[in-house]
Structure 1
C-alpha cells in the first residue's frame, strides 16, 4: 500500500534520513531525481527538512553537524540512515546494549514529534530508533520516488540475526529463491532484508556493515542516467535480480543508496 496511515509495527523500518554537508544541494538533487518537495526547517529543529510527495512525508535531509550543533571541517561523511519503529526508545536502547550493540546517540525528544536514538548492531551497522508521537514516519512508501526496501549488509549474519530478534523482535528467515538472503519479519510479515557482505558481488574490500535504503523508480536505467548527469556516480550498474532491476549508486555528496524497478507479482 503506497500510503501509510496506521502506526508502524515495532521493528519495522519507518523512516530514512540523509545527513550531508550541503543540505540545499541535496534538496535540489533529490527534487530533480525523485520529484520530492522540501526546504530547510526552522532553527529549533536544526534546519531539518522533511521531504514530501503529494504533501506527505517520504524522507528527511539535514546538514551534517556535531552533537553540539557545529558544522565540522572536514565535513562528516554523507549517509542515509534507516530508522526502526519502537514503542519505547529507552527500553529498546537498553535491549540493544544488553544484546551486544552500542549507542551512537542516546535517546532524545524531537519536539513533540517523537523520541529517537541512534545505535549500532554487533557488526557495526548503524541505524536509528523512532518512537512516534505526533509524527509516525514515512506516509508514502512502495511507489516510485519513495522507499521500497531496507536491507542490512553485514559481516556476521548469524550474530546479528539473534541481536535483532532480541533487541527489536524481528526475526530473520531465509528468503525463498534468493540464496544467502534473509527477510526480517515482524509478526510474520517481511519488513526488510539481510545478507552477508560476502554474498555481494563486486563489493570493495573493507566495506563495513551497513543498512542500505532502496528507492522505487519507474525505470532503473533512465534514473541512473539522470543521476549521472546530475553529478552522481554508479557503484553497481543496473542489473536484473529476483526482485526486479536495480542499481547501487551515490549522490554527488557520496551518499550510497539503491534504486529498483520491482518485478510485477507472479501471476497464477
Structure 2
C-alpha cells in the first residue's frame, strides 16, 4: 500500500536520504522533479530537510559536511534499513565483517542510527525509530518504490545481511542472477552482481523512485542540468532510466507496469 501506517519490520528499507554540498540547490531540484514539499530544516540538525509528498515524509536531504577533519561525504542516496535495536545491530554488523562509519548516535528524539559499509563495500544506514519510523508514502509517483543492492559478491552479501539484519536473498525463478530481498517472507528489495555495470563500478545501494512518465521526468531532469546515465528502457517490471543530479547524486526512476493478478 502506498501509505505506510505500521512499523517497518527489522531489516526492511525504511528511509532514503541524500547528502549534498549545496543543500538548497538539491532541495529545489528534487522538489521540482518529483513534486515534493520541503525546506531547509533546523540548524541544530544541519538544516536537514524532511521532504514530503501529499503532506507525508518520503525522503531526506541534508548538507554534506566534513566531520572531525575527514573529507565531506560523497553525494549519494543512502538506503536505511530498519531495526528495533541499533546497538545490537551495530554489534552484529561488525561481527560479520561490516564496518561502522560512525558509532550509533541519537538523532534528537526521532530515532537512533548509524551508517556502515558491508563486506563488499556498499554503504547503507541503519535506523531505529523512536518518534519517526521512516517514509510514510511508498510505491507511488514521487516516492521510493525499490531499493537495490548491487554488489561485487552476492554470496558474501547474502551471508552478511542475513546474519546482521535477518534479510534473506532469494533467487528469482525466471532470473536466477537476480535476488529478491525478503524479510519475514515478504519481498522488500532486490540484489544482483555488477555484471551489467561499467567496469570499476563499486558496490552500492540504488534508490528507485516511481514516476508517472519516465521519459518526461528524464527530460525535465536533463533540462535542470542532471546527467542521463541510462536512457529510458522497457523492462519486465516497467520503464526505467538512470540519472545523476547536478551535484552527482545517482538515482533511478521507473514507471512500473501495472500489477496483473494471476
The TM-score with structure 1 as length reference comes to: 0.95
Please give the alpha-carbon distance, in whole angstroms, between the structure 1 residues aligned to 2:84 and 2:190. Answer: 22
Please give the alpha-carbon distance, in whole angstroms, between the structure 2 residues aligned to 1:252 and 1:260. Answer: 20
Classify the secondary structure of the residue corresponding to 1:47: coil
Give the aligned CA root-mean-square deviation in angstroms.
Answer: 1.3
* Corresponding residue number in structure 2 for 1:57: 57
* Corresponding residue number in structure 2 for 1:153: 150
* Residues 151-207 of structure 1: CA deviation (Å, up to 9, x unaligned): 000000011101100000010001232241001100000001000001x2xx22211
* Corresponding residue number in structure 2 for 1:163: 160
Which stretches in structure 1 are left out of the alignment for 5+ residues?
A: none
1:239-250 equivalence runs, <5 A: 239-250=233-244
Task: Report whether the alignment pairs 1:110 with 2:104.
Answer: no
* Corresponding residue number in structure 1 for 2:227: 233
Classify the secondary structure of the residue corresponding to 2:19: strand
* Corresponding residue number in structure 1 for 2:133: 136
* Corresponding residue number in structure 2 for 1:86: 83
Please give the alpha-carbon distance, in whole angstroms, between the structure 2 residues aligned to 1:67 and 1:89. Answer: 21
Classify the secondary structure of the residue corresponding to 1:7: coil
* Corresponding residue number in structure 1 for 2:124: 127
* Corresponding residue number in structure 2 for 1:196: 193
* Residues 15-63 of structure 1: CA deviation (Å, up to 9, x unaligned): 0000010010011100110001111111111211000011110000001
Tell me how far 1:4 sits from its aligned partner. Answer: 0.4
Task: Report whether the alignment pairs 1:221 with 2:215.
Answer: yes
Which stretches in structure 2 are left out of the alignment for 5+ residues?
A: none
Assess if the C-alpha contact under 8 Å between 1:64 and 1:71 holds in 2: no
Indicate which of 249, 259, 268 corresponds to 2:253: 259
- Aligned pair count? 262
Please give the alpha-carbon distance, in whole angstroms, between the structure 2 residues aligned to 1:86 and 1:5. Answer: 17
Runs of 4+ residues over 2 Å off in structure 1: 176-179
- The worse-fitting range, judged by mean Cα deviation, of 203-212 and 126-135 is 203-212
- The worse-fitting range, judged by mean Cα deviation, of 83-92 and 235-244 is 235-244
Please give the alpha-carbon distance, in whole angstroms, between the structure 1 residues aligned to 2:153 and 2:261. Answer: 36
Task: Report whether the alignment pairs 1:185 with 2:182.
Answer: yes
Tell me how far 1:67 sits from its aligned partner. Answer: 2.2
Tell me how far 1:217 sits from its aligned partner. Answer: 0.2
Please give the alpha-carbon distance, in whole angstroms, between the structure 2 residues aligned to 1:56 and 1:267. Answer: 29
1:37-76 equivalence runs, <5 A: 37-68=37-68, 76=73
* Corresponding residue number in structure 2 for 1:16: 16
Classify the secondary structure of the residue corresponding to 1:158: helix
